[in-house]
Structure 1
């Protein structure tokens, strides 16, 4: 029976509880009281140096980052692959929705509510961050157009992750009734996902502990939202060979996520038929033809014979599983894959996010540097430094897509003149990664392009 370190009020923890219930898996539940500092005790930090919940320990194998745990449990304990398909295109859609939950929908909750709830000096509601919630729900509503489930026509891990998030919005009194596809999906998900009752119990516990102070003024903060309805088609899939590729890649050279995909393609010997540069400053991502392909209007976007896919790390996994000659970059072994997933989610939700939170307001909104956000960069690098202790690569004995994703992020910090040398393990790994990763020169060229934002 795996040990599960959690708190019931945590949305990421609740997604795992529901997944375990669906798999018929019993967990040895161990509560971690964050307010009491249980996560900082030496015995817990030894298990998880990032000292976060949820954390899973399965016969000595320790894993954190909730979405990596979801995938690991489904692959190890699932009786079939229905919750997390083996088919590369179907899996890519599930991965996309999971990364969408982490980086967009759940993150919009964090941006808006957390400063009001958890910072030492409670901050007032920020209307700009409220708009991010509206944008996230609009995008989710569009993704659900014509679909009963989050990633197609059947229940998958994406539904579990998103249900824990959307139910947290509901208990926070956010009105998403304006999004009919979300409402339809949500009502069905509550009925068909095992463990919904425990999830809702956790939501109410969260409300009791934290939300009382801000819900009273909620109605004063509600802004007008609008709905975008576009169809998002699922696709059948087949394993392809590099010589039969017909792919379009939409990107911007300075973008770290775009550069990570480019290096991955180089590593597996794939050349895109077309590389179309998207000028985000000129609004190319909002053109109707682009929105039809990617209603989230983000870069990078991959169009592989009609399959449109975005969220860079989902694209990286898809490329390797569809076109790589072997599985070295993303092993099929469940535990190895789980650790790589953990690192990808760390890159997305912690390391690269710390860059965006600190530097982007200075670059694009001309705001002054925020020293509190700079501390989050230092914390993220501290975690990465610990992860790389005694290791040549981020995981295992060879380069993986975890290294490639992290390299794109760390090189962006480098060009921003963040002092990486203070972190000896990161510095050592970085020098090696630059030498062994195919496409490094293209990545660095993109970094220098991005550097122009700082120079200006």
Structure 2
């Protein structure tokens, strides 16, 4: 059962939660619509409308999330609990599903999607449509626990995906008391809620990046999102502050390790392009005024690789990402220094020079890139991971940089060990999709600079 999706999409998250409720395993296939992958002929054959989510179940292809949700329940549901057979109950559920698509989600799209294009939300009138939609939903929930009656249904799951999207986008629906009551309960009783939330974090990161992009903000550093598919529950204290900028790869490597550990950060953006790192309040926290900076219950640490090791040693349930064995640690540390002293500098010296004048670096700079990948290819000869036979923080740190080379068009395929490793770690690293979204935005910034330099 192949499922073509992107984790941040509300419709995709709906299907994931319904599948989880039914105990179904989906063969997930990422389809990057930002790169136009939905227009590839092989996908258009599956779905001529070329939209996601798309489900292919033993040769049967179906798209539109709510249609998929209903199909899955009808075919694979052990009972009719999520979609009762009673015509009246089904009619109410269908009404709520159409309400979700045509009113609730539509209001979200009209107000928030302009952020992707302009960095600013829609009009006051668009905001009023959101308020009207939530007013309707609040009325639907008057005197009942679920959106379509007295039991959890596919309508609750679809609307939960949408309402949670509003939450992470900053819309305050607390004044809609019935919606708030329903939402608190739905989060607890809906299978797959954690994965839905992970997808939302991906979407939020993309929104943040787009807002920065629209304001012509860029950073000359490496950039890093796979979702942990609900396998990790957040356990971090709420007062763990991470000062960061979404486009900075070093920051995103911290986010990926945090995701691997099930940690949540209180994220605080420091716009280094506006000089915010020089604010006296931040210098008191980090006199080197660099990002990422982590403040954990009063303890302050910066330099991304130091943060990675700290997080694993303090919060790891085991030492798998940074083993206690002294020799293994030494190899991991070497790889981390390699990442800092070669991988990132060669990226910056060749590709990121375009931020200054629209031109990449010299042939000599490019040769250093090739030499660095030659070293990495050698490290990976006969082993799965960069520091041996065990996945570690070194893989995550180096992945952040290698993905930037990839998005800039560097031919990783010439280095077969690196290519094999890269294909593997993309699949298993929590936070991969967020990382890739950031890499795409760096590429966009460089291309904008190149175009303006012509």
TM bucket (normalised to shorter chain) is: 0.3 to 0.5
The structure, 1 or 2, with the larger RCO (C-alpha pairs under 8 Å, 6+ apart) is: 1
Q: Please, what TM-score do these two structures have when normalized by structure 2?
A: 0.46
Q: Please, what TM-score do these two structures have when normalized by structure 1?
A: 0.46
